[in-house]
Amino acid sequence: MAIVLGPNRYGKAETRVVRVTRAADGTHALTDLNVSVALSGDLTDTHLTGDNAHVLPTDTQKNTVYAFAKQHGIASPEAFGLLLARHFTSSQETITGARVDLEEYPWNRLGPHSFSREGSLVRTASVEVSGSAETVFGGLTGLTLLNSTDSEFAGFIRDDYTTLAETSDRILATAVDARWRFPAVDADFDAVFAAARDALIDAFTGTYSYSLQQTLFAMGKAVLEACPDLSEVRLRLPNKHHFVVDCTPFGLDSAPEVFHADDRPYGLIEGTVVRDD
């Protein structure tokens, strides 16, 4: 039985690039990205014999990220990813596929050249180019949200192992991970990101929740209503459990005002919301 090489790709992961753009009036703008490149193509020789004639070094890929940030600026993570993926697949005969994953760490402006990191929110993009096929995903992760009421969980299955009490008032908290596919590569990536992020926040805060699953659907629906061009949104919502601490042993009343924020294990609610047409 012959042993052969299966699918493979390679690239420079997590190139951190911060692009400063200086306006004539001394105001600076800042874009902070983490860029991961993965290339595929005619790469059998390097795996089987170590002949590297078809290999564009990952070090070169890193340099390209820096050079393109300098030369072209960073219009959006999606646009920068497309620029890179198109470059790698069109400039090297042996490279036929490129996947570029990008994270953007948003900064809020404090002054003309001063900024503060915007919480744990990360904007994400993923670009795939293979021949003439181009696919762009946008999204976000780490959007941490909490409702301190308007959340219940009851009416669930009870079997021999169920100890969970039903609750009519609990804290509901999550860190939203959302991903959407753009129907076209010339979409207004920034506008969709802003509308989707706002829709996610509004739906989370505005939904009286009987389960995180119900909140997930409401959030996905709100994104599709706010972004008519999108046909699908994929959501992963960790249920960041907050357990009431019983303070009665300390001679204090039992009103649920102090909670233990447990980090693991956590419920993980995942779902895709789609337009059925």
Ligand X SMILES: O=c1[nH]c(=O)c2[nH]c(=O)[nH]c2[nH]1
Binding residue positions: 58-59, 153, 170, 213, 239
- Residue of 28, 46, 54, 58 with catalytic role: 58
Closer residue to ligand X (CB): 171 or 222: 171
Residue numbers 122-161 binding ligand X by CB under 6 A? 153
Q: Is 164 in the site for ligand X (CB under 6 A)?
A: yes
Instruction: Give the nearest distance from C-beta 175 to ligand X in angstroms.
Output: 15
Q: Is 241 a catalytic residue?
A: yes
Residues placed in the known binding site for O2? 239
Counting every residue written for the chain, the total comes to 277
Instruction: Give the nearest distance from C-beta 239 to ligand X in angstroms.
Output: 5
Q: State how far the Cα of 44 lies from the Cα of 50, in Å rounded to an integer.
A: 9
Tokens of 176: 């939203």
Q: State how far the Cα of 267 lies from the Cα of 212, in Å rounded to an integer.
A: 9
Residue numbers 49-78 binding ligand X by CB under 6 A? none
Size of the site for ligand X (CB under 6 A): 7
Tell me the Ramachandran region of residue 218: left when phi exceeds 0, alpha when psi lies from -120 to 50, beta otherwise.
Answer: alpha
Residue type, 163: T
Q: What are the phi and psi torsion angles at 123 (to 5°)?
A: -85, 140
Residue type, 22: R
Q: Is 12 a catalytic residue?
A: yes
User: Is 226 within 8 Å of 198 (Cβ atoms)?
Assistant: yes
Residues placed in the known binding site for 5-hydroxyisourate? 153, 170, 213, 239
Contact string (CB under 6 A) for ligand X, positions 246-265, x = contact: --------------------
User: Is 173 within 8 Å of 242 (Cβ atoms)?
Assistant: yes
* Closest residue by beta carbon to ligand X: 212
Contact string (CB under 6 A) for ligand X, positions 209-248, x = contact: --xxx-------------------------x---------
Closer residue to ligand X (CB): 226 or 237: 237
Instruction: Give the nearest distance from C-beta 255 to ligand X in angstroms.
Output: 22
3 state DSSP class of 31: strand
Closer residue to ligand X (CB): 58 or 213: 213
Closer residue to ligand X (CB): 69 or 216: 216
What are the residues whose beta carbons fall under 8 Å from the beta carbon of 180, sequence distance 6 or more?
Answer: 137, 138, 139, 192, 196, 223, 227, 230, 232, 233, 234
User: Is 77 within 8 Å of 125 (Cβ atoms)?
Assistant: yes
Residue numbers 83-102 binding ligand X by CB under 6 A? none
Closer residue to ligand X (CB): 69 or 212: 212
User: CB atoms < 10 A from the CB of 49, how many?
Assistant: 8
Q: Are strands 107-111 and 95-104 parallel, antiparallel or unpaired?
A: unpaired
Residues placed in the known binding site for urate? 58-59, 153, 170, 213, 239
Residue numbers 183-212 binding ligand X by CB under 6 A? 211-212
Judged on CB neighbours under 10 Å (0-12, 13-18, 19+), 217 is middle
Which parts of this chain interact with ligand X (CB under 6 A)?
Answer: 153, 164, 211-213, 239, 267
Catalytic center residues: 12, 58, 241
